[in-house]
Chain A
């Protein structure tokens, strides 16, 4: 059996190895390179597991019904976005049986915001909000009077956000809450 040199010398060898890896990358030129792949190796089983998880999640991109809503509800390990506020306004259409409801969510760091609700089968694709220049997202939805509706916002296709300004929050049966409006 052989013992390696003392710690200082080992560290010196490690640093030399690190510099050699950088030189190998430079030797590959200005194009792409995998020169550091040998030094910065990745567990192949973890790589496959991650790839499988990605494919499973993208395969759930379109959700239908309440079970689909459950698939869209993900507990974020780290809050990536700051949801400041939302504003719900009603434009009474006077005399008609339909009310145009204006849903707005302030989420300046979001890439996409969808409105998922019981009136669209909890779909992430049916009511996609549009981004405004000030970083808020909005959509106007005509809804019938005389009914109550449950809804929430889905940010970046994976984070469920109930309306923080809604005075009515209901247990959605999956450990979270959804908002409700009555017209």
Chain B
């Protein structure tokens, strides 16, 4: 199970402010707390700032001053991803590549050059995938293309492209079914998602997010981009892993309880 801490993201108001004011202490504290809470990788995103390149490098530098985990460079811009990866002290992660031709051609060389892990969105030119089959078709392009380019299966994190349940009541099932089939078809590749798209347009979004987390673990999702400071979420994740047979003797669960990380 891989947990990517999502909090240092410029689309969040507090973060874009901290970035503008160069509030290093606040951001470093947030980095430290996420790792303490169980994040294995920290996502950093400066995409909404006007000087993204400079900011992503600054974020990479200050985060790595205080934590030892890899960082995940989160941007649709290849230029920003290149700038961020160049500052990584250990192999990082790219969020994200897709099968859209331009993005593919720009991101792939960076992933190869830096030996980065990669989030691969099941999306290609011509529009969003509509059906489960559309997603599987794009996933096949991504996995075969990345593997051919020398990216290890273990470094690939397929994102099934989750759409909001509030827009169509079948979108939850679609995401779960895609996850199950991806897991079955590519046992060596990881399946990842964020937890907020699913609940767009619905009230009490965290309830939906948590239920989705539990159900997607059951379907074989093994990586999440989430807020590790959400203790209810982290508790459910530990319990879900144990229930899905991924936690021998339930020792991770028990250890997390003892550490105060898992609570009812």
Does B associate with A? no
Which residues on B are within 8 Å of A, measured CB to CB? none
Which residues on A are within 8 Å of B, measured CB to CB? none
